[in-house]
Structure 1
Amino acid sequence: MESNSTIAPEKRKSLHALEATNFFLADVQTGLGPFLAAYLAGAGWEPGRVGMALTIGGIITVVLQTPAGAIVDQLKSKRLILVIASAVLASGAVLLSVTATPWSVYTSQVLIGGAGPFLGPTLAAVTMGIVGVTFFDRQFGKNQSFNSAGNVACALLIAGVSHLFGNRAIFITAAVLTVPTVLAIRAIRSKDIDYDLARGGAIQVDGKEVPARVPVMKTLLGDRILLVFLVCAFLFHFANAAMLPQLGEMLSHGARATAAPFMSACIIVTQVVIMCFAPAIGRFANLHGRKPLLMVGFGVLPIRALLYTLTHNTESLIAIQILDGIANAIFGVVSILVVADRTRSTGRFNLVQGSLATAVGIGAALSTTFGGKLIQHFSYRISFLSLGTIAAIAFVLLWTAIPETLPERHETDGDPSSPAITQELSA
């Protein structure tokens, strides 16, 4: 695999800024869900109400996810999208720090749920627009590594802040971290982002590059493999999303003071695994294909659910989070690569990213409510086992219905980042 030296040198500053954006944006965005669940449980909220509060943000996310992808496809001001979304996330975090009353929690979930859909597609679009198809696998894996490093740093910071100032300070910390996020975004140079590449590449017509314009409905409904993969993504997150929040709820009852440090430890383990393996996952997926990695990622999820029912030992539960890291590292990187594979030369890369995020959002939103109701009417053990069963169904569907999507090497036409025309980029 080529190094960054094969990409135009003037773009390196923007790439470093993109990586920094992934690092700091993770501090603001990721972890609010698990920490919020433990925070509300410690404030006396019942499991069913906790699940409903998390579901509100999920519903907003689901409604906006696909339209957000379409908007990202159309707008050239990618940096502005990131800045506005970051500011909205910060507003939601500040609101959570004010009070745990329903109006505050629900309003914050609307803000956080409304900003989130724009972040993932925009970051991936900026990546594709800077490095092109040839280097997207590797760079996107690196992005995920920086994202996870940010999660680790934030979890460590939150553990200290919550210990010194209480759980409400967690959300103030997330809001303050918006400042370095915006500075990193502004360091990405707009001229380094190729607009047509950022929305899904261009096609060759009579030897010339022209923007791709495949109809939306054909892109979304005309690809059976893509549709089945969206179903797999839905099932994966329906099984996965509730596990960590309800683990935090379970351990926060009777031990509220240790809830935030425990969640920090779980998040750190997960994110360290992602940080270490995400770049290698991108390289492996480019050389050996997507499906072998996806099989591993989907396969460890039912095992994790089962293990949660076998022990309440804190150290063991934290160690089980290694499996969470493996699953999320693979899905986080490879799912976007599958979308890139199936949308090449369509001009709809971000739209389909939004559709993937919609499937993920629906699964995650239903997961928290489903898990909360099972806990309320049965037990934590029944909830974990039920989620594990759904994960097993997702694994079987992936195994039987999704083929390898990695294109042949000669299909990298129209990619300005390829070695054949790197000098043109450097001019």
Structure 2
Amino acid sequence: MNPQYALEALNFFMADVQAGVGPFLGVYLQAQGWHPDAIGTVMTLGGIAGMLATSPAGALIDATRHKRGIIVAAGVMTTLASLVLWVAHSWWMVAAAQTLAAVTGAALGPAVAGVTLGIVHARGFDRQFSRNQVANHAGNVVGAALSGLLGWRYGFGAVFALAGCFGVLTVVSTLLIRGDSIDHDSARGAAAASGQEHEQASGFRVLLTCRPLLLLSAALAMFHLGNAAMLPLYGLAVVAAHKGNPSAFTAQTIVVAQLVMVAAACFANRLILRLGYWGVILITFLALPLRGLVAALFITAWGVWPVQALDGIGAGLQSVAVPALVVRLLQGTGRVNVGQGVVMTVQGIGAALSPVLGGVLAQHLGYAAAFLVLGAVSTGSLALWLLFGPSLKKACRSCSDLDNPGSLAT
């Protein structure tokens, strides 16, 4: 099989593996008698574990020539951890399963980005990664739709069984990528490395010495602090108001967002060429405060359409623009995947804290107040992006100049 087609198949099936039971976890635990604050806390533990594992995972991807093996191992372990939730409902078992899934799944993002870079090289990365994300979001649509349908028809057990099937297909798709199709030097952005200093740089050094990368990471951390809890909280809010079937409504929230993400990912590369990375990421930061306001005003079954459409715009564009920008910023350093991991780690801080913040707010102030506060928190990313706009615009524009790689890493 053409390695690029196999790569897209991997992204399609990997979507359900990365998410695990994902947004279904909240309504599943709610059905087991859990309260919103406990649900938020256990999700936060998983988020923290994944956050801590992502940078070391990126460093491992840079160092190893067994990237396919890492994807296979991570896919298997993440799927098994999700299946544990089917039979174990105690707080400690759920927390352990979420932690294991997050730690093993942390390698999937940097690994797939590295494999993509190794196959198509830097000049082809934006286009291919956009295709990867279209496949990934399409996989989320199919996985969520099937989960909702099977969950409604057969119960939550079918959702876990489906996760296992997608895990097997993820392994098969990975093995269809020929090992000799991956240039491991290009996969870590070392093809044009010019010095030993870059080769020895750690992930944390890359973060601290590349100012645009630092600003991007901080802005994404605030964005995800407001964004990560909205989907599970909105599902809980509507179900708690007895305005939707738990499995079917949760699936609907995912499908709506992912369909918009498919469209956003399709056009992301064109928007990047037209508006630049800075402009595209600005659009994503504008969408979230509006999403929080709409979610607070319309806790109804039909409210899922505008709420999740706004999520689709933000997440769909970011899923392409952010990894592509990191590749441009760090090309030539030999540490591209560490950089990807560092950005994921910093934004993971916000994502990890979001569920517990949202859960506590919903428990004590109500769902509407929780959505308003989460939307207000996310305006910090918008303020930071605008405040440092001139320097960020310059960095983002110069990132397209691949004839001088690595120039932005200082």
**TM-score for both structures, normalised by structure 2:** 0.93
RMSD: 2.1
Q: CA offsets per residue over residues 333-382 of structure 1, 9 Å max, x none? A: 11112211210100110001111111122111100001111111211111
User: Of the candidates 251, 266, 288, which is equivalent to residue 301 of structure 1?
Assistant: 288
The residue type paired with residue 375 of structure 1 is: A
1:406 aligns with 2:392: no
> Could you tell me how far apart the structure 2 residues matched to 1:312 and 1:204 are?
52
Match of 2:176 in 1: 187
In structure 2, relative to structure 1, the CA distance for the partners of 1:56 and 1:34 (3 Å cut) is same
In structure 2, relative to structure 1, the CA distance for the partners of 1:378 and 1:14 (3 Å cut) is same
1:14 aligns with 2:3: yes
> Could you tell me how far apart the structure 2 residues matched to 1:387 and 1:99 are?
31
Match of 1:173 in 2: 162
Match of 1:7 in 2: none
> Could you tell me how far apart the structure 2 residues matched to 1:218 and 1:365 are?
23
1:336 aligns with 2:336: no
User: Of the candidates 92, 98, 102, which is equivalent to residue 113 of structure 1?
Assistant: 102
In structure 2, relative to structure 1, the CA distance for the partners of 1:225 and 1:211 (3 Å cut) is closer
The residue type paired with residue 48 of structure 1 is: D
User: Of the candidates 262, 285, 291, which is equivalent to residue 249 of structure 2?
Assistant: 262
Deviates more, 1:298-307 or 1:34-43: 34-43
Unaligned runs of 5+ in 1: 1-11, 416-427
Match of 2:80 in 1: 91
Q: CA offsets per residue over residues 202-259 of structure 1, 9 Å max, x none? A: 2266xxx999615225422112221111110100100100001111111222649701
> Could you tell me how far apart the structure 2 residues matched to 1:287 and 1:180 are?
36
The residue type paired with residue 68 of structure 1 is: A
The residue type paired with residue 215 of structure 1 is: A
Measure how far apart 1:277 and its partner are.
2.3
Partner SS for 1:100 = coil
Partner SS for 1:202 = coil
Match of 1:82 in 2: 71
The residue type paired with residue 97 of structure 2 is: S
User: Of the candidates 326, 350, 364, which is equivalent to residue 351 of structure 2?
Assistant: 364
> Could you tell me how far apart the structure 2 residues matched to 1:266 and 1:379 are?
20
Listed as ranges, the matches of 1:104-253 within 5 Å are 104-203=93-192, 213=199, 215-216=201-202, 217-253=204-240
Match of 1:420 in 2: none
> Could you tell me how far apart the structure 1 residues matched to 2:373 and 2:107 are?
31
Sequence identity of aligned pairs in percent?
35
Measure how far apart 1:163 and its partner are.
1.3
> Could you tell me how far apart the structure 2 residues matched to 1:246 and 1:317 are?
12
In structure 2, relative to structure 1, the CA distance for the partners of 1:369 and 1:191 (3 Å cut) is same
Is contact 1:93-1:172 (8 Å) kept?
no
> Could you tell me how far apart the structure 2 residues matched to 1:218 and 1:369 are?
30
Deviates more, 1:164-173 or 1:365-374: 164-173
Partner SS for 2:398 = coil
In structure 2, relative to structure 1, the CA distance for the partners of 1:281 and 1:146 (3 Å cut) is same
> Could you tell me how far apart the structure 2 residues matched to 1:414 and 1:52 are?
42
In structure 2, relative to structure 1, the CA distance for the partners of 1:215 and 1:330 (3 Å cut) is same
Is contact 1:237-1:367 (8 Å) kept?
yes
Partner SS for 1:169 = helix
In structure 2, relative to structure 1, the CA distance for the partners of 1:221 and 1:264 (3 Å cut) is same
Q: CA offsets per residue over residues 117-150 of structure 1, 9 Å max, x none? A: 1000000000000001111011111100000000
The residue type paired with residue 49 of structure 1 is: A
Is contact 1:246-1:371 (8 Å) kept?
yes
Match of 2:304 in 1: 317
Measure how far apart 1:55 and its partner are.
1.0
Deviates more, 1:404-413 or 1:214-223: 404-413
Is contact 1:148-1:275 (8 Å) kept?
yes
Q: CA offsets per residue over residues 52-109 of structure 1, 9 Å max, x none? A: 1101111111111111110111011110000000001111121011132223311210
Partner SS for 2:303 = helix
Measure how far apart 1:312 and its partner are.
2.2
In structure 2, relative to structure 1, the CA distance for the partners of 1:409 and 1:144 (3 Å cut) is closer
In structure 2, relative to structure 1, the CA distance for the partners of 1:333 and 1:409 (3 Å cut) is closer
Listed as ranges, the matches of 1:264-279 within 5 Å are 264-279=251-266
> Could you tell me how far apart the structure 2 residues matched to 1:257 and 1:169 are?
19
1:290 aligns with 2:281: no
The residue type paired with residue 356 of structure 1 is: V
Unaligned runs of 5+ in 2: none
Match of 1:24 in 2: 13
In structure 2, relative to structure 1, the CA distance for the partners of 1:318 and 1:307 (3 Å cut) is same
Partner SS for 1:172 = helix
Measure how far apart 1:44 and its partner are.
1.2
> Could you tell me how far apart the structure 2 residues matched to 1:26 and 1:211 are?
36
> Could you tell me how far apart the structure 1 residues matched to 2:74 and 2:357 are?
29
> Could you tell me how far apart the structure 2 residues matched to 1:201 and 1:412 are?
14
> Could you tell me how far apart the structure 1 residues matched to 2:247 and 2:256 are?
14
Partner SS for 2:397 = coil
Is contact 1:240-1:387 (8 Å) kept?
yes
Is contact 1:338-1:406 (8 Å) kept?
no
